[in-house]
Chain A
């Protein structure tokens, strides 16, 4: 058992290593993953300025753009990842290794968090400096807690999608594309989610970013609580539940899909 744990930890580190290395080894990725999001953020900021929206909206957009970097990585680097792994021949190598498949997912997630953080920090700092964002942080520990919970929940969701998409072919790719923009809207990336109305915001809260972003805005900006969806403490509690739920359910989904794949012969079937 001890050896198994050690092997699984080694597997997590090894799989995460790929993404840690990838953070800096390909300079062209920096361009698409940092400069382009800043352009997108700038567009929203200028729209708000043109409409004379409250000043804090600029900060909301910067924060949304920062978290957006994680969402894009969760979609393309987690949800669709097992599909890519299958196509390039790695999935079967993971499946025959004497490790828990969750180790691979955790490695992908932790490495992905590091990789996305390098981009997110850049977007956050550059965006905040260019647009002179004023922060009024109410509680650093709470803000940090919300950030960690948001990422955990988000990557847990990515792990769940990864399991579900494992047996899919190109449908996985289409599925990811379908999720990208609607979630940008529903989670209130560039505006307070409260504006969508209670029912829609509640539904969107199944995605950890919705509550995470809302809580971070409430904790980081003076006008944040005024435009908040629900109480920050309630949001923290809900995020904890979502984190546990996604991590546990992704484990079972992965086991189920693996069994199904082995039964139907789709685990290693490519070019579908």
Chain B
């Protein structure tokens, strides 16, 4: 079996400048654990998603694989090549796009910027301009080809950065939150391109991080859920969702309430519980994963007893986010 990416017990910590308290840095002597014995295997030709909340260790893993960061211990192989021992060989195979990032210089046009980055990969001018034309066409950027990037909107500059990653046609692409901060239409274009790019050549591989579970569900062949530096589970989105088949997922909206949420997790029959405050709507969304559907009556009684008025209650099909909640006992956007 050919693996595009393999990691073996990968560890990485960061020294914190001044920890305010022990709780904040995980009580690890001023060190933040970014990756803890991370093991993943990504097959060649796979679109693999790495899911987790902010600070889970997704970007750290990508930066190690992209030769930008050294692991404290463990091994990482890209196309069978050790990223620490032979970074130069790895760099010939990869590229990386970080969402929310820009690239290049404001004084260059879109075409010039893409050409410049293509040259760092030794691509001939003819091939580079052909690829640039294709990318401009597919990602609907032709009209901006001669626009200086300093004059582009933030979304278009992010789109340009995305194109920059693909102009060298890497064998293995690392996409770190590629649709972060993009408007709906641009994000849709980006996702469509990712699908097309993968279909064109079965040898291409993408490792994509995201905290948009729906995006991972839509795009990825397999996903790994990562939290606090640990890989919790790895499988196809369908299989992961099926793992919750015996359980019932309910979403309940109540008026915005901040205190005393934790006790809802202790209601009999509740397997996992998560909540998200939606201040702009004046509501708190509660998500319950129940061992049995009948346990919902206990939940509603407890909410009523707590003086919480139920605005809406709906039973949902399990999503990847529910898998995450079931695994870690909190939602992606929870603070704790």
Contacts and interface: CB of A to CB of B under 8 A. Distances in A.
Interface string B132-172: 00000000000000001000000000000100100000000
A226 interface: no
B122 interface: yes
A14 B115 contact: yes
A52 interface: no
Interface residues of A, number: 31
B181 to A, nearest CB: 14
B264 interface: no
Nearest to B63: A268
Interface stretch (B104-112, B193-201, B284-292, B297-305): B104-112
B103 A93 contact: yes
B28 to A, nearest CB: 15
Interface in A1-30: 3, 6-7, 10-11, 13-15, 17-18, 21-22, 25-26
Interface stretch (B67-75, B217-225, B272-280): B67-75
Q: How large is the interface on B (under 10, 10 to 19, 20 to 34, 35 or more residues)?
A: 20 to 34
Contacts of B94: 96
A263 interface: yes
A119 B174 CA distance: 42
A99 interface: yes
B247 interface: no
Interface in B28-77: 63, 66-70
B237 to A, nearest CB: 29
A178 interface: no
Contact of A97 (B15, B91, B104): B91
B121 A88 contact: no
Interface in A95-150: 95-99
B92 A17 contact: no
B121 A265 contact: no
A268 B14 CA distance: 13
A21 B122 contact: no
A262 B108 contact: no
A92 interface: yes
Given A17-B112, A265-B14, A98 B101 contact: no
With a 10 A CB-CB cut-off, give which of B66, B102, B120, B122 has the most chain A CB atoms. Answer: B120
A162 B14 CA distance: 25
A31 B122 CA distance: 37
Q: Is the interface of A mostly helix, strand, loop or mixed?
A: helix
Nearest to A89: B101
Contacts of A263: 70
Contact of B122 (A7, A17, A92, A95): A7
B148 to A, nearest CB: 8
A21 B120 contact: no
Contacts of A95: 67-68
A262 B122 contact: no
A92 B68 contact: yes
A151 interface: no
B96 interface: yes
B107 A22 contact: yes
A89 B63 CA distance: 14
A122 B75 CA distance: 56
Given A18-B105, A21-B108, A98-B121, A89 B91 contact: no
A265 B60 CA distance: 9
B116 A97 contact: no
Nearest to B59: A268
Given A21-B107, A265-B14, A96 B119 contact: no
Contact of B66 (A13, A26, A96): A96
A63 interface: no
B129 to A, nearest CB: 13
A262 B69 CA distance: 4
A265 B35 CA distance: 13
Nearest to B64: A262
Given A3-B122, A96-B67, A98-B121, A90 B104 contact: yes
B3 interface: no
A14 B103 CA distance: 14
A15 B68 contact: no
A10 B92 CA distance: 15
Interface of B: 14-15, 63, 66-70, 88, 91-92, 94-96, 98, 101-105, 107-108, 112, 115-117, 119-122, 148, 161, 164
19 contacts: A7-B120, A10-B119, A10-B120, A14-B119, A15-B116, A17-B112, A17-B116, A18-B107, A18-B108, A22-B105, A26-B107, A88-B102, A89-B101, A92-B66, A92-B68, A93-B103, A96-B91, A96-B96, A268-B68
Interface of A: 3, 6-7, 10-11, 13-15, 17-18, 21-22, 25-26, 88-90, 92-99, 262-265, 267-268
